[in-house]
Amino acid sequence: MGQILFLVIIFLQTGCASILNPLPRRDPAFAAVRPQDMQAPPQYNAGAIFQPGYEIRLFEDNLARRVGDILTVRLVERTNAKKDADTDVKRNGSTSISVPTILGQNNAKLLGYELSSSLDSKHDFKGEGESKQSNALTGSISVTVVETLPNGNLRVRGEKRVSLNQGHEYVKLSGIVRPADIDTTNAVDSTKIADATIMYTGEGAVADVNRMGWLQRFFTSVLFPF
C-alpha cells in the first residue's frame, strides 16, 4: 500500500511539473517550410548528362534564393519617439444690466430691491502632455524562405524559442527581403526587411509577475470612468 501511495505522489508531482513548466509552443504562422522538390519532372527524358534540378552552381554565392533556404537576420531595431503638447486657453466675460425706468422714475426699486444686475465670468484652461518611448532590440535569428515573388524578392519567416529557467522566450519574424540586400555571409539587417513583423514575447514566472491583474486592468481601462 505504501509503495502504491509513493508512486501516486511521484505521478502527481510529474503532472504538476509539466503543467507549471510546459514546453515551448510552436506558432504555425512562423513555422519553417520544406524546400521544393529538386527531382526532375517525370516527363523529362534522362538521356542526357544534364538533368534540371540537380545542377551545381560553382561560380555563384551560396545565398538564400529558393523556397526552404535559410537566411540569417540581424536584429538592429532601435526607435525613439517624443511628443509634447501644451494648451493654455483663457476667456473673460462681463455683462451688466442697468436699472430700468418704471412709471417715469429712474432707479426704481421692487420690494425694496434694486433692479440693476451684473454678471461676470472667467474661464481658464491649461493642459500639458508629454509622451516618450524608446525601444531597442539586438540579436539574430535564422529564417526560411517561404515564397519567391515574381519580382525576385523573397518572403521569409521564422521563430526562435529559448527556454530559460522557468520561462520561455520567443522571437518571431516575417517580412519581404530583397536579394540585393543580402550580404556575402547570407545575412541581412532587419531594417532592410519590408512589411516586417518582429515579435519578442515571453511566458512563464517572470512574464506572469510583469502582467497586470484583471482587477487592476479594469481600473486602468476606459470602462472605469473615474
- The yes-or-no verdict on residue 53 having pLDDT over 90 is no
Q: What pLDDT, on a 0 to 100 scale, did the predictor assign at position 175?
A: 94
Cα gap 38→67, rounded to integer Å: 11
- The yes-or-no verdict on residue 16 having pLDDT over 60 is no
Look up residue 30 and give its three cell numbers. Answer: 512562423
Residues 77 and 89 in one domain: no
Residues 175 and 66 in one domain: yes
- The yes-or-no verdict on residue 13 having pLDDT over 60 is no
Mean pLDDT, residues 117-137: 79
- The yes-or-no verdict on residue 3 having pLDDT over 90 is no
Residues 190 and 94 in one domain: no
Question: How confident is residue 185, by pLDDT bands cut at 50, 70 and 90?
Answer: very high
Range of lowest pLDDT (18-27, 66-75, 142-151): 18-27
pTM score, whole prediction: 0.60
Range of lowest pLDDT (9-18, 137-146, 176-185, 189-198): 9-18
Domain count, the chain: 2
Cα gap 168→207, rounded to integer Å: 9
**pLDDT tens per residue, range 85-112:** 888 878 777 776 666 655 555 555 655 5
Residues 141 and 194 in one domain: yes
Residue 7 inside a domain? The answer is no
**H-helix segments, the chain:** 2-20, 205-209, 214-219
- The yes-or-no verdict on residue 76 having pLDDT over 80 is yes
Residues 98 and 199 in one domain: no
Does 84 or 172 have the greater pLDDT score?
A: 172
The domain containing residue 151 runs over which residues? Answer: 55-82+132-213
**Do residues 167 and 203 make contact, with C-beta atoms less than 8 angstroms apart?**
yes
**Do residues 202 and 170 make contact, with C-beta atoms less than 8 angstroms apart?**
yes
Domain boundary among 130, 159, 191: 130
Q: Which distant-in-sequence residues (6+ apart) come within 8 Å of 33 by Cβ?
A: 67, 68, 144, 145, 146
